[in-house]
Chains A and B, each alone.
Chain A
Amino acid sequence: DGGITQSPKYLFRKEGQNVTLSCEQNLNHDAMYWYRQDPGQGLRLIYYSQIVNDFQKGDIAEGYSVSREKKESFPLTVTSAQKNPTAFYLCASSPGTDKQFFGPGTRLTVL
């Protein structure tokens, strides 16, 4: 099956910890994106990558880091510098057109 997978589905983080969210796609899409969704708000862009070994900051990149070593993988690290990390994190990919397709999401909770 072609698609986007995110893991884990639920993640709990203690104060001061870094955590990494996984995003994998087997759609052969060039571009990948990370969004954050908070209750009652739309999605906000954290980082995006158009090609391997290249990525750009989105609107709310502070406290986050990414890498793009392989076309199919775009992991997101939520660092201890992110002051309010509790949110629903969504990964998306795009074949280079305007449509973006989303994964199932990871819900991160800070304990």
Chain B
Amino acid sequence: QKEVEQDPGPLSVPEGAIVSLNCTYSNSAFQYFMWYRQYSRKGPELLMYTYSSGNKEDGRFTAQVDKSSKYISLFIRDSQPSDSATYLCAMKGGTSYGKLTFGQGTILTVHP
């Protein structure tokens, strides 16, 4: 069983839809949670970062963490064609240095 599971999709939605992206994890040592956006043939870009259960909002993006259920989500409101990308969840334990453990990524297409 992988430490982090992410539905690879692909996910196709119309412009303006609300998108929900999800990851589950098995390692209870994970304390820090991130969402990256990766356009085709580019490096990942950090979108959201959180370390506590609950919601964190940034513009059209909301990151949600439920540590008791080992489940994180990213919601995108009013989705735009420019949101079309691969979204990667990532997480790590409590030490300051060390690896991120990534989900396999969800491919999202927002069509006009």
Binding site for B on A (CB under 8 A): 4, 6, 31, 33, 40-45, 48, 50, 58-59, 88, 90, 94, 96-105, 107
Give 6 closest A-B pairs by Cβ, nearest first.
Answer: A42-B102, A102-B43, A45-B99, A98-B32, A42-B104, A43-B102
Q: How many A-B residue pairs have CB under 8 A?
A: 61
Q: How far is the CA of A55 from the CA of B16 in the complex (A)?
A: 46
Is there an interface contact between A48 and B97, defined as CB atoms closer than 8 Å? yes
Given contacts A90-B44, A99-B46, A105-B42, contact A42 B97 (CB under 8 A): no
Is there an interface contact between A43 and B100, defined as CB atoms closer than 8 Å? yes
Query: 15 pairs across A/B with beta carbons < 8 Å?
Result: A6-B43, A42-B102, A42-B105, A44-B102, A94-B97, A96-B96, A96-B97, A98-B49, A98-B92, A99-B49, A100-B46, A100-B100, A102-B44, A104-B43, A105-B42
Selected from B8, B34, B51, the residue in CB contact (under 8 A) with A40 is B8
Binding site for A on B (CB under 8 A): 4, 6, 8, 32, 34, 36, 41-46, 49, 51, 88, 90, 92, 96-105
Q: How far is the CA of A6 from the CA of B97 in the complex (A)?
A: 22
* Known contacts A50-B97, A98-B49, A100-B100; 19 further A-B pairs (Cβ under 8 A): A4-B43, A31-B97, A41-B104, A42-B6, A42-B101, A43-B100, A44-B102, A45-B100, A48-B99, A88-B41, A90-B44, A96-B96, A97-B96, A98-B34, A98-B92, A98-B96, A102-B36, A102-B43, A104-B43
Given contacts A42-B102, A99-B49, A101-B46, contact A107 B96 (CB under 8 A): no
Q: How far is the CA of A100 from the CA of B100 in the complex (A)?
A: 8
- CB contacts (< 8 Å) of B34 on chain A: these are 98-99
- CB contacts (< 8 Å) of B51 on chain A: these are 98
B86 vs chain A, min Cβ distance (A): 10
Q: How far is the CA of A105 from the CA of B39 in the complex (A)?
A: 12
Is there an interface contact between A48 and B98, defined as CB atoms closer than 8 Å? yes
Q: Which residue of A lies closest to B42 (CB)?
A: A104
- CB contacts (< 8 Å) of B88 on chain A: these are 42-43
